């Protein structure tokens, strides 16, 4: 594992779907199958999300992790078109009906933690991860999610996570065998996007955690990511594609922006902007300031914005830099496409609260004890 990384721990399956382990009341872990303290300003104010029902992560979950170098000092905020894009018609995020947390809630209705976990985690929208390299089924699996969102007039959040040499060979190693195979996988992924609005969080850690690659390998990866954005947006012009900006505790904004530009994030043909804090714990306010500095340095079209993972940042990042299921964390702001912040397009739950980084359960598995710790007032 790389000390400065926002490591994503992924568990893949043949279909990427999740199911609970057993049906015992009080069961403390679910795993992939088929198919404290006073609230901070970033803690959720209410149980009901302003963006509507919730959604879990479905295909092959992942659990990123934090730490990292201090970010650059704040820079001036650039003017923007605000958080609402003119073409947005749906204002609510989609809650996919299949996930580890939903399975656990259904299987454990009498568990003393169930009400809190259901109301504060399971009933909120979250991203759907596609972390296993399965070319034969990826189109149909993506289409199942996007068509479900379209039927409800809601916006699904998808996470393609199959870049070769993923996680630099760490806990989330895997992905496509090479970039040629990855490009073909992205083509098939794009074929399932449909024609309605969808948010794509493209390859967490693929840019911020690229130091392990030689210069030529990094350039090839960035070229493939730029291609991926173009393919996704060409397949569905309503798709909103965001690129990996790491988080506010990692590298300086100008340095991250330089990497993002090489990967196509500054081009409207491939990008709608950046994402940050995936599976991390940095406060929303810190991420807003950091993302604005990145966008300013990126110098792309004014339509570019940022999305922030607020799933576990209610109490901010631990002072000791612990990344693996650190104690004392809380869920953050509810997912929404209406942030009220210029240049911030959405607060999303990309990492589903309760899915372990590997210390409170099997990496990627749902732990109700961890979920309750995060969700309890």
Catalytic residue from among 132, 296, 325, 357: 357
Angle between helices 179-190 and 215-235 (to 10 degrees): 20
Virtual CA dihedral for 48, 49, 52, 53, nearest 10 degrees?
A: -70
For 255, the token pair is 């340095």
Burial of residue 360, with CB atoms counted within 10 A of its CB: 0-12 exposed, 13-18 middle, 19 or more buried:
buried
Alpha-carbon Rg for the chain in angstroms: 18
Q: Is there a contact between 180 and 221 (Cβ–Cβ < 8 Å)?
A: no
Identify whether 325 is a catalytic site residue: no
| 291 given a catalytic annotation | no
Does the annotation mark 205 as catalytic?
yes
The active-site residue, picked from 132, 205, 244, 325, is 205
CB 125 within 8 A of CB 101: no
Closest residue by Cα to residue 9 from 309, 247, 351, 364: 364
- Return the residue matching tokens 């009906």: 97
The Cα 353–Cα 375 span in angstroms is: 8
Please identify which of the residues 42, 132, 167, 272 carries the catalytic annotation: 167
Active-site residue set: 167, 205, 357
């Amino acid at each position: 594992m790389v000390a400065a990384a926002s490591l994503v721990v992924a568990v893949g399956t043949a279909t990427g779907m999740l199911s609970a382990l057993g049906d015992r009341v009080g069961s403390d872990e679910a795993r992939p199958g088929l198919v404290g303290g006073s609230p901070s300003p970033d803690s959720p104010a209410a149980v009901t999300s302003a963006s509507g029902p919730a959604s879990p992560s479905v295909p092959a979950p992942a659990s990123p992790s934090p730490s990292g170098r201090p970010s650059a000092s704040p820079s001036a905020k650039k003017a923007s078109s605000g958080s609402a894009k003119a073409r947005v018609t749906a204002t609510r995020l989609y809650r996919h009906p299949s996930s580890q947390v939903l399975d656990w809630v259904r299987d454990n209705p009498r568990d003393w933690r169930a009400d809190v976990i259901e109301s504060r985690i399971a009933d909120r929208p979250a991203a759907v991860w596609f972390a296993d390299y399965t070319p034969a089924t990826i189109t149909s699996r993506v289409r199942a999610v996007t068509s479900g969102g379209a039927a409800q007039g809601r916006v699904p959040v998808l996470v393609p996570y199959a870049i070769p040499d993923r996680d630099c060979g760490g806990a989330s190693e895997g992905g496509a065998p090479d970039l040629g195979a990855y490009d073909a996988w992205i083509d098939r992924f794009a074929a399932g996007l449909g024609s309605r609005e969808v948010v794509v969080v493209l390859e967490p850690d693929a840019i911020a955690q690229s130091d392990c690659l030689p210069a030529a390998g990094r350039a090839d990866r960035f070229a493939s990511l730029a291609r991926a954005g173009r393919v996704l947006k060409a397949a569905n012009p309503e798709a909103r594609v965001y690129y990996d900006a790491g988080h506010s505790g990692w590298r300086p904004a100008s340095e991250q922006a330089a990497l993002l530009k090489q990967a196509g994030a500054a081009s409207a043909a491939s990008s709608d902007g950046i994402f940050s804090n995936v599976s991390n714990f940095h406060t929303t306010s810190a991420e807003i300031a950091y993302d604005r500095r990145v966008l300013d340095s990126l110098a792309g079209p004014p339509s570019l914005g940022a999305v922030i993972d607020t799933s576990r940042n209610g109490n901010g990042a631990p002072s000791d830099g612990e990344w693996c299921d650190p104690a004392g964390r809380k869920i953050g702001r509810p997912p929404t496409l209406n942030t009220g912040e210029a240049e911030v397009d959405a607060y999303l739950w990309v990492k589903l609260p309760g899915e372990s980084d590997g210390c409170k359960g099997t990496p990627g598995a749902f732990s109700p004890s961890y979920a309750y710790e995060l969700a309890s007032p």
